[in-house]
Chain A
Amino acid sequence: MAPAEPALAPAEDAQLIAAWQAGDERAAAELVRRHARAVARFLVGAGAPDADLDDLVQETFIRAFRAVATFRSQCQFRTWLLTIAGNALKDLGRRLARRRVVPLDERLESKDGDPHERTVAGETEERLRRGLTRLPRMQREVFLLRAQQGLEYGEIAAALDTTPGAARVHYHHAVKRLKEWLK
């Protein structure tokens, strides 16, 4: 399975991370340029409202840069970013639920965005988007990391703090349920 966006060499990211830790803001900016769109795609797949997408991407990088000392290269930097994005989205869901402005499920299935793009988007894609919001978080994230980001089970397991076998099981459960909903 070829990744949609090939992950960059870990060594290059590692060099940028080291430069950022040494105070080089240009390194942080370069890391944002490299990974922002992958983070955005993951967030959309995980159900992020379009209206909050920019803020969530920014929040993901801010959390990552502040906690970069805890990144031990157990997985690729991008994979680590995606797990942080998942946490940021979860926190947003909690905040929205507390405010009770819009029910969370409705908000995450927001129809914001260009109507024309939605019209031309494949029906399968739209149904997949809705189906993903109904999956448990672990199944949803394993599915996206595997199917959308093209990661191996070992990498997924390291990022989500589980085993490759468990990640494989989560993926197959997710695929089975999504196929049922996409009938």
Chain B
Amino acid sequence: MMLDDGVHDEELRQAAQRLGAAAAERVDVERTAEAVLARLRAGDAPARSRIRWIQPAWLRAAAVVVLMIGVGTLLVHRFNPPTVSDRRAARAAGGEIGDMSSGQLQTVLAALDEPAEMPAVHAAEAGLEDLTESQLQSLLRTMEE
């Protein structure tokens, strides 16, 4: 096709193909490749994406820790059973007292209320060998009743 002014389609196309050819030849493709890679390595986009992913990770970890502490505390308070030794001690004390008659309990209480009749014995030194003969006999009588 040719217009009246003489400009061919082909001429236009060839001019378009020449357009920028010299400038393109001046582009140092190796240097361009190196610069592109350097800018990609130092780019802020990957850093932003890292931050985006780290933040939820930290939040998730913190949430898990808080949840574990909460659940643990709840379980300790709700389901903490008495230890075996605690149970044995309670059973033993309850059993001995429960086995006593009302008379025996009154005698024991009376003995406890009359410390002045016994020689003062320091708690740390208290023992059967420290009791006098009369005290031992009194204790034995109480236990035999």
Spell out A's residues near B (CB within 8 Å). 1, 4, 25, 28-29, 32-33, 36-38, 40-45, 50, 53-54, 57-58, 61-62, 65-66, 113-114, 117, 121-122, 124-125, 128-129, 132, 143-144, 147-148, 175, 178-179, 182-183
Residues of A with C-beta under 8 A to B23: 40-41, 44, 50, 53, 113
Whole-angstrom CA separation of A113 from B30 in the bound complex? 21
For the A-B complex with A29-B36, A62-B39, A122-B15 known, give 13 more contacts whose Cβ atoms are closer than 8 Å. A29-B34, A37-B29, A38-B24, A40-B20, A41-B20, A44-B24, A50-B23, A57-B27, A58-B36, A66-B45, A132-B19, A147-B13, A179-B7
At the interface, yes or no: B110 with Cβ under 8 Å from chain A?
no
Cβ of B101 < 8 Å from any Cβ of A? Answer: no
Does B35 make an interface contact (CB < 8 A)?
yes
Query: Inside 8 A of A1's CB, which chain B residues have their CB?
Result: 13
* Cβ–Cβ contact B18 & A122, under 8 A: yes
Q: How large is the interface on B (under 10, 10 to 19, 20 to 34, 35 or more residues)?
A: 20 to 34
Does B9 sit within 8 A of A, measured CB to CB? Answer: yes
B72 at the binding interface (Cβ < 8 Å) = no
Assembly CA distance A29 to B35 (angstroms): 10
Q: Which residues from 1 to 50 on chain B have a C-beta closer than 8 Å to any C-beta of chain A?
A: 3, 5, 7, 9, 11-13, 15-25, 27, 29-30, 32-37, 39-40, 43, 45
